[in-house]
């Protein structure tokens, strides 16, 4: 593993660090906005008083914290693999280059000793999963790897009720921030009541440290609503999502190609509007994650929340 100097220094001194995924850059957003967003997310983490650690596998080496040159190269390179739990070790063993999904970023963060990670949305149970069995490895990772993930919920391309049921079955805390429903990515609220609600970063940090102290495996999903000004109403997106899903089915898109295909089609069909909202919510998540990282650091210095 190669850590950037900045990340290595922060981890050695106990300064706050926020992990960031790279699949959102390579498979989640189009060039060149992807590079711009990746840089802005890193700046936002810094402005929040934490060190950003974007994670990726480059030529067989796991990088935790990318130089700007590596970030730029990754953002425009063709043929970068999409790595989840199933393929990250194989990619490293064979000298490959790949971007990390939520699951693989959690694995990288844990290896480096990073507690918290910010992204846009997690993978989940796909619509029609009762036939396709397509359930993202992100869900199981959340139940196994002790990293707190800040996201704006999950996209409506998924079957959201089934996604939340699976997380409950797996014992993953789903914490809505400052509201009683689970946010639905482009929309701040949803009809799904949140299993847990917290209004302060310090509470989320305390719950994270408490889980660690109890030896509970797995992380927490912090579901942070998109800022109201950036929301897209669900009614506006429903026909677009339905069209993208129909096209995916007609073209036989399957397995790990499904999520990138749907995201790309929705960006095209909304003429970039979905991307603007996506950018706003990722930055909002980076801000909250930096705050939680600081609170976790303060609790660790004080000996944790257990008296
Ligand atoms: N959801 C988004 N944007 C993304 C992804 C999901 O709104 O970029 C990416 C993340 O990297 C996530 C992955 O971990 O897609 C899930 O892919 P799959 O459904 O194949 O597990
Ligand atoms: Mn899948």
Does 256 count as an annotated binding residue? no
Distance 122 CA to ligand 1 centre (A): 6
Question: Nearest 5°: CA angle at 117, between 266 and 105?
Answer: 75
For residue range 97-112, list pLDDT tens digits in order: 999 999 999 999 999 9
* Residue tagged 């999963």 (tokens): 129
Cα atoms in the 13 Å half-sphere on the side-chain side of 90: 7
Please give the sequence-ordered ranges of beta strands (E in DSSP) within the chain, or none if there are none.
2-3, 17-20, 51-58, 61-64, 81-83, 98-100, 116-118, 148-151, 174-177, 196-198, 220-223
Does 78 count as an annotated binding residue? no
For residue range 236-268, list pLDDT tens digits in order: 999 999 999 999 999 999 999 999 999 999 999
Among all ligands shown, which has an atom nearest to the Cα of 26? 1
Residues forming the active site: 21, 155
In a structure prediction context, what are the per-residue pLDDT tens digits for the chain, which is 307 residues long? Answer: 999 999 999 999 999 999 999 999 999 999 999 999 999 999 999 999 999 999 999 999 999 999 999 999 999 999 999 999 999 999 999 999 999 999 999 999 999 999 999 999 999 999 999 999 999 999 999 999 999 999 999 998 999 999 999 999 999 999 999 999 999 999 999 999 999 999 999 999 999 999 999 999 999 999 999 999 999 988 899 999 999 999 999 999 999 999 999 999 999 999 889 999 999 999 999 999 999 999 999 999 998 555 4
Cα atoms in the 13 Å half-sphere on the side-chain side of 270: 25
Distance of CA 249 to the CA centre of its chain: 26
Position 303 scores a pLDDT of 83
Helices (H), 48-195: 68-76, 88-93, 102-112, 129-132, 137-144, 160-169
What gap in Å lies between CA 101 and CA 181, rounded to an integer? 25
Position 306 scores a pLDDT of 54
Q: Which two tokens stand for residue 56?
A: 């990726």
Distance 121 CA to ligand 1 centre (A): 7
195 phi/psi in degrees, rounded to 5 = -65, -35
Position 307 scores a pLDDT of 42
Q: What percent of the chain has pLDDT over 90?
A: 96
Among all ligands shown, which has an atom nearest to the Cα of 135? 2
Ligand 1 site, CB within 6 A: 21, 23-24, 28, 84, 101-102, 120-121, 123, 136-138, 155, 256, 259, 263
Q: Is 84 helix (H, G, I), strand (E, B) or coil?
A: coil
Distance 253 CA to ligand 1 centre (A): 15
Domains and CATH numbers, the chain: 1-114 (3.40.1790.10), 117-307 (3.40.1790.10)
- Name the strand (E) or helix (H) holding 209: helix 201-214
Distances in Å between the Cα of 143 and the Cα atoms of 38, 44, 172, 211, 234 are 27, 28, 6, 12, 29
For residue range 88-143, list pLDDT tens digits in order: 999 999 999 999 999 999 999 999 999 999 999 999 999 999 999 999 999 999 99
Does 187 count as an annotated binding residue? no
């Amino acid at each position: 593993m190669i850590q950037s100097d900045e990340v290595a220094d922060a981890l050695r001194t106990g300064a706050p660090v926020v992990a960031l995924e790279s699949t959102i850059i390579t498979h989640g957003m189009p060039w060149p906005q992807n590079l711009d967003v990746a840089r802005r997310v890193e700046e936002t983490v810094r402005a929040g008083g934490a060190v950003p650690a974007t994670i990726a596998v480059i030529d067989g080496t796991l990088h935790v914290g990318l130089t700007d040159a590596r970030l730029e190269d990754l953002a425009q390179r063709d043929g970068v693999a999409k790595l989840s739990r199933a393929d990250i070790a194989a990619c490293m063993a064979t000298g490959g280059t790949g971007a990390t999904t939520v699951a693989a970023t959690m694995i990288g963060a844990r290896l480096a000793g990073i507690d918290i990670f910010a992204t846009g949305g997690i993978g989940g149970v796909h619509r029609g999963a009762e036939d396709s069995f397509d359930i993202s490895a992100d869900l199981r990772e959340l139940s196994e790897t002790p990293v707190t993930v800040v996201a704006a919920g999950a996209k409506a391309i998924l079957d959201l009720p089934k996604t939340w049921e699976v997380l409950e079955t797996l014992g993953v805390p789903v914490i809505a921030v400052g509201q009683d429903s689970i946010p639905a990515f482009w929309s701040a609220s949803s009809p799904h009541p949140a299993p847990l609600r917290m209004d302060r970063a310090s509470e989320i940090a305390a719950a994270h440290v408490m889980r660690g102290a109890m030896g509970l495996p797995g992380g927490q999903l912090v579901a942070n609503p998109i800022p109201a000004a950036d929301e897209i109403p669900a009614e506006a997106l429903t026909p677009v999502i339905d069209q993208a899903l129909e096209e995916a089915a007609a073209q036989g898109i399957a397995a790990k190609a499904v999520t990138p295909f749907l995201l790309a089609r929705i960006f095209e069909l909304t003429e970039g509007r979905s991307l603007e909202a996506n950018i706003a919510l990722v930055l909002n998540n980076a801000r909250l994650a930096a705050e939680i990282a600081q609170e976790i650091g303060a609790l660790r210095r004080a000996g944790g929340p257990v008296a």
